[in-house]
Structure formats: structure tokens, C-alpha cells
Structure 1
């Protein structure tokens, strides 16, 4: 949690600081980005920075919480559907919303994993559990496995897809949009359409 002085800053100043931090954590990595370089790039003094955050980890967690909140808003709640066609259609709608979001917030793609793994794992896991449960209920997911293992494996595939997509985009390539669905179908025992 940021310190109270940060939350009392005008919203546009908070946003500016978080945007710089998110960009640098995305570019340099959450493990290696320099606190001093981030605050310098944000144009705040070291003494001011320590009035806003308890240190590097506090800034990192504040930045990741912000990313997770934005991504959770983009994901929205999983809306239960009645058949396979609706299920895949809804997943593709979510994918399009995420793509549009990433186009306007490119750093979020690199920070999806740490935002949901380090900070908001419960919300992300709950969203995945909802759509896995729906897939099981409509007979789309036919793999006989422990539900919690299936949810964890689905989450791992989605995290792998995020990393793969980020690497493809960073290399200047457009990721094949069918690859994630192919992986999920194979994991779930779902026949190809």
C-alpha cells in the first residue's frame, strides 16, 4: 500500500508516477528495475519518494495492484453460457477486450503475470475457475481431472500464452490468435470444431 501522502496527490500526478513505474518495471523486469532510476524518471526526489512509498517493494506492489485492477476490469465477470459456441464466442470477446487494452497500455502485457501471481492471484484464479466450471457444465471440458488441478493448469496455460504473446509482439510479430485456443482444447480434451 502506498503511504497516505501518495494517495493525497492529485490523481493525474499519481497516474504519472505509476505510469513511469509500470513502464520501467515492464522494460527492466520486476526483479531488476531500479527504484532510484524509476523515481528519477518520474521526476521526484528520493526524499519525496520515501514520503509516498516505503521503498521499492511498496512501489512495485502499488504498480502491480493498479495493473491487476485495470485487467480485472477488462476481464469483467465470466458470464455463464449454455453451449460451446457461446463459450468460445465469449472467450474471443474477452481476448479482443484484452488486446485493445494492451494496445493502449503496453506495459500491462509484461506485468500481467506478476500482477496476478504476486498480488491478485485470488481474483484471477476465481475468474478462471468460473469459466472452467462453465466449460465442464456444458460438456466442453471433458478431461477427467481434479477440478483444482484443472483450474491451475488452465491458469498456467493462460500465463504461458501471455508470455508467448508478449515475446511475439516484442519481436515485431503478430501472435497467431488460434494458438491459445488450440492449447486449451488440447488440455481440456475438447474436440476440434
Structure 2
């Protein structure tokens, strides 16, 4: 009788473990990043606002701390480039972004937002080190708001947004962008703004 009870208990435990394993592997789980915009701004096609801390470019940004909307209030289009310190494509495109930014001298604001701490692709220190190593001078910084990655639906790195002064996102580009493509998209943004 004792042997039969032990066997029954073992079968019940195994069955319960199987049910738990199936539930854990169920495809009904929610994705990490929802397919629909979660912020009211994104739902209307507007860039969600966020606060950031400047690594560099405080003279353009208006200080050590600012927000995306404070940049937009300057009346210029904004190119928001989300990157990370340990992102190889980000590293490759930064010099091209710098060259185009330099050639348009003040016609738009380029801001590089380091989201490495939220994507597992580098720390803030690694982000700052990358800017120094590549001699990047365009305004850049980071945020302590992890919701930015979700609000902007960042699914790949780098991701660049082309934003009119009214906050309307006119283009989102995910992946490496060369100098020619970046120039083309900046021209399109300037024409539409």
C-alpha cells in the first residue's frame, strides 16, 4: 500500500510539473514590447516627451538636463538617434551622422540618446567613452526613464527618428544608416518642416 501511494504521489507531482512547464511555455504570454503605441503622443503620431541628462552639447541643449519638447520649442527639426555604447552598427554610423550634422550647421538639432543601459548594450560610462573615442561632438545624453524604449518601440539598434518642430514624427529608421541616406532623410525633414 505504501509503495502504491508513493507511486501515485510521484505521478501527481510529475503531472503538475508538466502542467506548469506547459503554462510557462504558452504562446499566450504578452510580448515585451506591445505592437501598439502605449503613449498618447505616439498614438497621435507625435514624439513622446522624455527628460534626459546631457553627456555633451549643453550649449545646444540648454543645460545639463532638458527634455525632447524643450528641444522642439527651439523651432528647429530634431533628429533623435537612439544608440548604445556596445552597439556595433551604432559605432559605424556615428561618424557619418557627425559629418552630416556639421555640414548643415544649425539647421536642425541632432540628439543622440544612449539607451544602452536599458537594452543590455552598454553602460552610461561605455556610452560616454564611445563618444570620446570617435570624437563625436553632436549633442548626446541619456535618460533614467526606461519607458522611452517602450514608448518609441525600439526593437533594433540604432533607431533614428526625424521629428518636425511640432513634434510630428515624419520618419523612423531602424538599423545602420550611411551618410548618403542620412543626408537624404535630413533634406526630406527640412523640406517638410
Higher relative contact order (CA 8 A, sep 6+): 2
Question: What's the TM-score once normalised by structure 2's chain length?
Answer: 0.24
Structure (1/2) with the larger strand percentage: 2
Higher normalized helix content (fraction of residues): 1
Query: Which structure has the larger Rg over C-alpha atoms?
Result: 2
